[in-house]
């Protein structure tokens, strides 16, 4: 099968900026192209959820690079991963030899709003909001014995990593006591346990070949109907057998495609929308049972060395692409103080409620 390699990466720091959406994307694209040696681009795939009509065209227009096919992709938090999969497939099919993937977003301040959910769901807190995250966290604590202090320890881990990431929004270390002293948003979740919607952009240049960092797998799976706390499409409220989480199905697909498994991973970037979401993903990705959380945090594969969303914040369309940028730089040994020594295989994961779960595997 035709190999796909990543030859260039670029990122516009995640945070709040007095910079327009298209300019953020253009800066990330320019950096990725320069790193790749400024190759001729055959096609562009742009991930965005809030960018509006022709976002990719606006980004490439700032660089005078329109004229090639430009496709915008929306899949919630997995928008960038969906764009990445389409770009990789375009190379593997032989249609394109070099593809640009860009994710860009300028999120409104406050709780994430989405037209996907009916008003009554939003009124009940059953949308991507702290009330839903808190209910899900309570379920995790009940089923696996996870404690509030353990959730705080996840925040401490990710904020410590964010200190060394110049592209992160929050770069100050915190303690467990700091986390538990932050505002209680919705029990058991305190403010520091929740990621911040924000702004940013990330870009990748994909080319045909097996040299360098290889894209081994990129799997997307949509949600299936389930109970009210499941990542269902929509929130079906069924109370019978619980479906397999989409992140689990996507990871199984990706492991099979890559010919690798959880034990082969040297680092993971996963979607810590809130601290409990990260812990649940340890189980869904086959990394560990959440009941073994303390041991995993001390001895398991490094997770979210970028600082995760809890440090970086989450601009939806850029989030998944930003994860891949981090892993590429880790695999190339240029992640600076947060470098995972000897890293050769990395996994990136995102999940968007009402859209797709994605798992991407890369290796040297």
pTM of the predicted model as reported, rounded to 2 decimal places: 0.93
- Residue 98 pLDDT level (bands cut at 50, 70, 90): very high
- Residue 108 pLDDT level (bands cut at 50, 70, 90): confident
| DSSP reduced 3-state for 330 | helix
Whole-angstrom distance, CA of residue 291 vs CA of residue 269: 20
| DSSP reduced 3-state for 29 | helix
Q: Is omega for the bond preceding 108 within 30 degrees of 0, making it cis?
A: no
Summarize pLDDT for 20-72 with one digit per residue, the tens: 999 999 999 999 999 999 999 999 999 999 999 999 999 999 999 999 999 99
- Check: CB of residue 320 under 8 Å from CB of residue 350: yes
Q: What is the pLDDT of residue 254?
A: 97
Mean pLDDT of 328-334: 97
pLDDT above 90 for 167: yes
Element (H, E) at 360: strand 356-363
How crowded is residue 229: how many other Cβ atoms within 10 Å of its Cβ? 17
- Looking at residue 237, the DSSP 8-state letter turns out to be -
- Give the pairing of strands 267-269 and 345-351: parallel
pLDDT above 80 for 195: yes
Mean pLDDT of 342-356: 88
Summarize pLDDT for 216-241 with one digit per residue, the tens: 999 999 877 766 666 654 555 565 66
Q: What is the pLDDT of residue 1?
A: 56
Would you give the end-to-end CA distance of the chain in angstroms?
A: 17
- Check: CB of residue 326 under 8 Å from CB of residue 335: yes
- Residue 180 pLDDT level (bands cut at 50, 70, 90): very high
- Residue 87 pLDDT level (bands cut at 50, 70, 90): very high
- Percent of the chain residues topping a pLDDT of 70: 91
* Pure H helices in the chain: 21-35, 55-61, 79-92, 119-123, 130-144, 148-162, 176-181, 246-258, 275-284, 293-299, 308-312, 316-331
- Check: CB of residue 77 under 8 Å from CB of residue 320: yes
- Topology given in CATH for the domain delimited by 4-110+195-363: Peroxisomal Thiolase; Chain A, domain 1 (3.40.47)
Whole-angstrom distance, CA of residue 19 vs CA of residue 307: 23
What length does the chain have? 364
- Check: CB of residue 242 under 8 Å from CB of residue 226: yes
Which tokens is 52 given?
């509006």
Whole-angstrom distance, CA of residue 362 vs CA of residue 312: 21
Q: What is the pLDDT of residue 114?
A: 65
Whole-angstrom distance, CA of residue 122 vs CA of residue 117: 7
Mean pLDDT of 177-196: 97
Whole-angstrom distance, CA of residue 358 vs CA of residue 250: 6
Q: Is omega for the bond preceding 234 within 30 degrees of 0, making it cis?
A: yes
- Looking at residue 144, the DSSP 8-state letter turns out to be H
| DSSP reduced 3-state for 204 | strand
């Amino acid at each position: 099968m035709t190999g796909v390699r990543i030859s260039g990466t670029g990122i516009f720091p995640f945070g709040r900026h007095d910079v327009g959406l298209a300019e953020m994307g253009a800066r990330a694209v320019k950096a990725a192209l320069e790193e790749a040696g400024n190759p001729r681009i055959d096609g562009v795939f742009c991930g965005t959820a809030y960018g509006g009509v022709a976002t990719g065209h606006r980004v490439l227009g700032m660089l005078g690079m329109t004229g090639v096919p430009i496709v915008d992709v929306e899949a919630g938090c997995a928008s960038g991963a969906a764009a990445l999969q389409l770009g990789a497939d375009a190379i593997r099919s032989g249609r394109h030899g070099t593809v640009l993937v860009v994710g860009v977003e300028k999120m409104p301040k406050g709780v994430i709003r989405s037209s996907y959910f009916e008003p009554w769901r939003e009124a009940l807190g059953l949308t991507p909001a702290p009330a839903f995250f808190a209910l899900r966290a309570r379920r995790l604590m009940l089923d696996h014995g996870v404690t509030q202090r353990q959730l705080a320890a996840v925040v401490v881990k990710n904020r410590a990593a964010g200190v060394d990431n110049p592209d992160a929004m929050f770069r100050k270390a915190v303690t467990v006591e700091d986390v538990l002293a932050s505002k209680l948003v919705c029990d058991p979740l305190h403010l520091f346990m929740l990621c911040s919607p924000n702004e940013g952009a990330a870009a990748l240049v994909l080319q045909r070949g097996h040299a360098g960092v290889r894209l081994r797998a990129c799997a997307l799976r949509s949600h299936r109907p389930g109970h009210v706390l499941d990542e269902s499409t929509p929130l079906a409220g069924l109370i019978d057998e619980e479906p397999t989480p989409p992140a689990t199905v996507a990871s199984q697909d990706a492991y099979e495609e890559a010919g690798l498994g959880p034990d082969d991973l040297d680092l993971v970037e996963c979607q810590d929308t809130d601290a409990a979401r990260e812990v649940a993903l340890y189980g869904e990705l086959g990394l560990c049972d959440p009941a073994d959380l303390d041991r995993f945090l001390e001895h398991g594969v490094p997770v979210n060395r970028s600082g995760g969303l809890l440090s970086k914040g989450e601009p939806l369309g850029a989030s998944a692409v930003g994860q891949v940028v981090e892993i590429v730089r880790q695999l190339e040994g240029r992640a600076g103080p947060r470098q995972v020594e000897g890293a050769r295989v990395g996994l990136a994961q995102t999940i968007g409620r009402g859209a797709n779960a994605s798992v991407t595997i890369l290796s040297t």
